[in-house]
Structures are given as C-alpha cells and as structure tokens.
Amino acid sequence: MKVLVGLGSCGIAAGGKKVLESINNSVKENELNIAVEPTGCVGMCFYEPLVDVIDGDKKYTYGHVNAKIAKEIVESHLKNGQPLKEYIIYSNEEPDIYVVNQLKIALENCGQINPENIDEYTSVGGYEALKKVLTSMSQQDVIEQMKISGLRGRGGAGFPTWFKWDAALKSGGSEKYVVCNADEGDPGAFMDRSVCEGDPHKLLEGMIICGYAMGSNHGVIYCRAEYPLAIQRLNIAIEQARENNFLGNNILGSDFNFDITIKMGAGAFVCGEETALIESLEGKRGMPRLKPPFPAQSGYWRKPTNINNVETFANVAWIIYHGPEKFAAIGKGNSKGTKVFALSGKIKKGGLAEIPMGMTLREVIFGIGGGIKGDKKFKAVQLGGPSGGCLPENMLDTPVTYEDLGKTGAIVGSGGMVVMDETTCIVDVTKFFLEFTCEESCGKCTYCRVGTKRMLQILNKITEGNGVMEDLDELENLALSVKDASLCGLGQTAPNPVLTSLKYFRDEYVAHIMDKKCPSKKCTALLTYEINKEKCTGCTLCARKCPVQCIEGTVRKPHEIVQEKCIKCGNCFTTCKFNAVEIN
C-alpha cells in the first residue's frame, strides 16, 4: 500500500503540507509500514488537497482533505481496510468524468509519481527514450521522428518542432544551445508550472534528446522567479540526472555531452517571446530582436539556438518511446497529439485538462469542466490569454485545433481557457487584457507602446459612459494597425481581445455607448443603485453602512438613495438583507 499527497503549488496553497504531516504522524502512531510520498498536481485543482491511496491495482482518491480527515483515512482505510466513501471523489470503480475524458501524454506522470525521486520516473519508463536515441538513432533519425509525429510548439505559435530542430542542426559552429521557455506569463495559465513541479525529469529528458538531435552540449531553462517550487524541483532533478549519468559528460557511455542550468526571469510577459527571452538570458533588458536572423542561426550569445516551451519538450520522450505514428494518430488534421489547457474563471471544475486536439470547446467546458458555476448561462470563453480571443456561445462546437480556432480570430495560445458567465461584462474583460498588455509592453515599437495605450483610453471612455459610436471605428482601426506594425508576438496579438469582442459582442459595446448601460451590471460608472420601496423595511442598516450618507429615510419607512451623492460603492447592495437594493 502507498499514499500520495498532492503537493503541487495548488495543493500546498489549499493546505496539503498539513495533510501530509497529519498522515505521517498517524501512520507513525499506528505503527503502519506504509510509504507516504508527495506528488505533483494531477489536474483536479478544484478538489485540492488530494490524497491517493494505492492498494495493488486499486486506487482511491480523496478530495478536500484536511488534517482531521487525513487522520480518519489512516485509521479507517490504511489500518482497517475500510475506505471512507463519503470523501472519495475518484476510484477505479467510480471514475470521474474529469479524468475519463482526458488523454494524458505531457501530464501522464503528474500526480502519479514523487517528482523528487528519479527512481520513480525511471520505474515508469523514464529515460528509456534517451537510451534508445543514444544507442540506435542518428541526429537526423530523431528529427525525422519529430516530423512524422506532427508535434508543433505548444507555447502559442504552433510552429513545427522538427523544423526548428533541423534548422539548428544545419547551422554551422560547434557551440549551440537548447533553451526551454518556462516563462509562463498568461493570466490564468499554469500548465508549464505543473509539469516542472510534477514531472521535472520528463522536461529534462526532452531537452537532452533535443540537444543530441541538433548537436548542442548545453541547455538552459528560463523559468520565472515566481515559480519557486518548480525551480526547487528542477534543481533536484538536474542533480539526480547528473548523478545517474543522464546529464554531464559521456552520457550513458556515449560520446555525447550535455548539461542544463536554470536562469530565473523577472516575470516580464514580453520575455515569453523567444528573442526577448534571449536578450534577458544575456543579462539585457527583455526586448525583441529583429528577425531574421532567427535563433536557429543566431540566438543565445549569437550562437545557433533552439527554443521550445515546457509542454513541447514534455511530449518528446513519449514520442520516441511509443513511436511517432501513435502520436500522429491523435488529433485532427495538422493539429496532432494532445494539448494541456488551464480551465479557470466561472467554471465548476477549474484545473488542468489534457485533451486530444480536435475535441470541441463544448466538450471541454461542459464535459470535462462540468459547466458553469451556479448553473448560470455561459457567455464567452477567452482562449490564449491576452494574446487570444473571446468567443461566444454559438462557437462552442468549434474544434480545438490551431486551424479551427485561428479562423475565429482566437488562438490556442499556451493553453489558457478563461470561462465567463452572464454576469461578465465583455467590454470590461477586454479592458482588463489591454491593461495587462499595456503594462507588459517593452516599449520598443511605437504602435505597441502608444497604440495599446490609446485603445485602453477608448475602452476606459466607453466603460465610464463617455463613449461615442465613432470610438468603435477608431478602436478597430487602431487594433489592426498595432497588429500589423508591431515587431514581436506581444504587440501582434495584443489587439486580439479587442477585435474578437467587437466582432462577436458589438451589441454590448453599443449598449455602453448608446444606452449608457452595462448589460452585465459590472461597469460602476454606468450603474444606478435604487431602493425598491415595496421591499424596504426601513431597518436603516444600508444608511448606517453608507460611507457618504446618501441614503435618506426614517426608521420602519422606505428609504431612498440620493443619486447626486451616491459614489456607487455597492455597500448598500451587499448589506441589505431584504434584497430591497436593486442595480439598474
């Protein structure tokens, strides 16, 4: 029997360390000879803290575990063999649709093994792909396998992986670099972090194989400093890989040398763009370079460099181990394999989901994700973070592929999927993403630096009730100009939320401008708080909580809000126990 406690960042934040301590203490008190180990995030973040009890071929997953429940699990299940059914959220006999509808490749070991123990990685086939490469494959053989698999970059652009590797291989010079982009900056995205925390050796193995294929001896992982647990576990994995001769000189007795170091980034979103990342690696300000030359010809220290993100590298060993044809058989059209998405926002089951490419948005959101919180009406989904687009309900049957989503104006991106319900104001959400891209713009390009700020000014004007219809034309023209004239991917994609929201939710913009109303009742400047005199009991609680004393009335008599004084703080609405305060 074995016990796993989810200690990814989400599990720790939910109290996972206290659960682990409680289980260890109870196991010791009951003198049980049972292994208790930490593991990464299995993806069901909405159930954290999670505890798995593995007994032979049977597995029981407990959700929302606290220290008290953890003790009960030890005394009933571990000691007496009686599972606590009231706390079990998943088992072999009763699988959860969240798990059943997924197909895991990049995340196959996350939540299943101890990420700080290399033996657990090798016990499930870890580093077997590397052994195969070093003993029976040429550099071109490896690249050909990547080509057959159809693996495309999972960081957003979807560029063929084999092509970048091949270009780096064909570049002259003996000094080359493999760079892993772990600078995951999209709001609501945490796919790469979970791989680094839950299965770091899989990332390392993918990088080592890439190094062999392109003739590089050194790899660099560029990881944001806001991911301390990921960095900690990557450092542990690197040391273990060196001790076991998977890194270093003459790897596994071959003539291939390769090592990996970690560089911490300062959290700039623009450093997710490969040339800006390279500038940061070299100790400069993160700003994009002109291309060409491309990194494959002149990258880190002006040497041939290949850059892929974490999820891309996490697919490499699986492809080599199982065969590229098996990977290529998954997906739709030119979108092969699986893609990891971070489900967040107004969704019942927020977490990570790895799906075969080609599954529809509806199947992901309402199947795996369980639908909308509170069973409210679905309104939109934002794909690809601030670089992506906002899609309405009538596009829920769109397949999740690079091509199909591209036709809508959205993108797959790195995998963020923010779900919105009927209470969400699309104009306000668009403004949020523009605020983010304005803040994160490096300022190198005039169109990105000035254009995004001007778009934000127009959005502020509209949400404050001062918009005019001509603003929509200016907004669209600016968005197209910024998209065409910006140097890097940040500027080129920053207008996507504006363009897609104008395309699919134009009526909401018109309501803000013409009716001076926010249909979702979110834009404060356009709201009016009023007291329904038929519901008001005259309890005076709202008047006492009002910070500007704008509510008038006597005890046990209906009250009234003096609109000229009201600052629209919402205190009256949240305070009233009789639902007498209404927002119009």
Tell me the C-alpha distance between 308 and 350, whole Å: 26
| Residue numbers of the domain that contains 24 | 2-95
Choose among 206, 198, 204, 217: nearest CA to 244.
204
Domain count, the chain: 5
Per-residue pLDDT for 98 more than 90?
no
Regarding whether 432 and 409 lie in a shared domain, the answer is: no
3-state helix, strand, coil in the chain (%, to 5): 45, 15, 40
Choose among 572, 567, 571, 569: nearest CA to 553.
572
Contact residues for 388 (Cβ-Cβ < 8 A; gap 6+): 382, 410, 411, 413, 416, 493, 496, 497
Q: Establish if 487 belongs to a structural domain.
A: yes
Query: Average pLDDT of the chain?
Result: 95
Regarding whether 430 and 352 lie in a shared domain, the answer is: no
| 517 close to 462: Cβ distance less than 8 angstroms | no
**What would the mean pLDDT of 332-353 be, rounded to a whole number?**
96
Regarding whether 88 and 23 lie in a shared domain, the answer is: yes
Q: Taking each helix axis as running N to C, give the angle between helix 200-214 and helix 310-322, from 0 to 180 degrees, rounded to the nearest 10.
A: 80
Q: Where are the alpha helices (DSSP H) in 464-530?
A: 470-485, 489-493, 496-504, 506-510
Residue 394 is classified by DSSP as G
Q: Where are the alpha helices (DSSP H) in 400-495?
A: 402-408, 426-440, 446, 452-463, 470-485, 489-493
Per-residue pLDDT for 334 more than 90?
yes
Q: Which one of 95, 110, 142 terminates a domain?
A: 95
pLDDT at 97: 76
Strand partners, 530: 582
pLDDT at 507: 97
pLDDT at 157: 77
Residue 252 is classified by DSSP as G
pLDDT band at 96 (very low <50, low <70, confident <90, very high): confident
- What the block records as the tokens of 174 is 């003996």
Per-residue pLDDT for 172 more than 90?
no
Identity of the residue numbered 282: E
Q: Establish if 399 belongs to a structural domain.
A: yes
- What the block records as the tokens of 450 is 């000035």
Q: Which one of 64, 95, 126 terminates a domain?
A: 95
Q: Which one of 292, 327, 362 terminates a domain?
A: 327
**What would the mean pLDDT of 297-310 be, rounded to a whole number?**
97
**What would the mean pLDDT of 304-310 be, rounded to a whole number?**
97
Per-residue pLDDT for 101 more than 90?
no
Tell me the C-alpha distance between 383 and 388, whole Å: 5
**What would the mean pLDDT of 350-357 be, rounded to a whole number?**
96
Residue 268: how many other CB atoms lie within 10 Å: 21
pLDDT at 569: 92
- Residue 303: give its domain's CATH number: 3.40.50.11540
For 225-242, write each residue's pLDDT tens digit: 999 999 999 999 999 999
Please, what sign has the CA dihedral across residues 431, 436, 439, 445? negative
For 136-158, write each residue's pLDDT tens digit: 999 999 999 999 999 999 987 78
Residue 144 is classified by DSSP as H
Give the rounded percent of residues in the chain with a pLDDT score beyond 70. 100
Q: 């911490």: which residue's tokens?
A: 264
Q: Establish if 106 belongs to a structural domain.
A: no
Per-residue pLDDT for 95 more than 80?
no
| 331 close to 150: Cβ distance less than 8 angstroms | yes
pLDDT band at 187 (very low <50, low <70, confident <90, very high): confident
**What would the mean pLDDT of 245-257 be, rounded to a whole number?**
98
Per DSSP, the residues of 236-278 read HHHHHHHHTTSSBSSGGGSS--BEEEEEEE---GGGGSHHHHH
For 274-290, write each residue's pLDDT tens digit: 999 999 999 999 999 99
- Residue 432: give its domain's CATH number: 1.20.1440.230
E-strand spans in 31-84?
A: 35-39, 51-55, 58-62
SS3 86: helix
- Residue 62: give its domain's CATH number: 3.40.30.10
Regarding whether 442 and 495 lie in a shared domain, the answer is: yes
Tell me the C-alpha distance between 269 and 287, whole Å: 11
Regarding whether 243 and 177 lie in a shared domain, the answer is: yes
pLDDT at 229: 98
pLDDT at 504: 97
Residue 105 is classified by DSSP as S
Regarding whether 318 and 214 lie in a shared domain, the answer is: yes
pLDDT at 324: 98
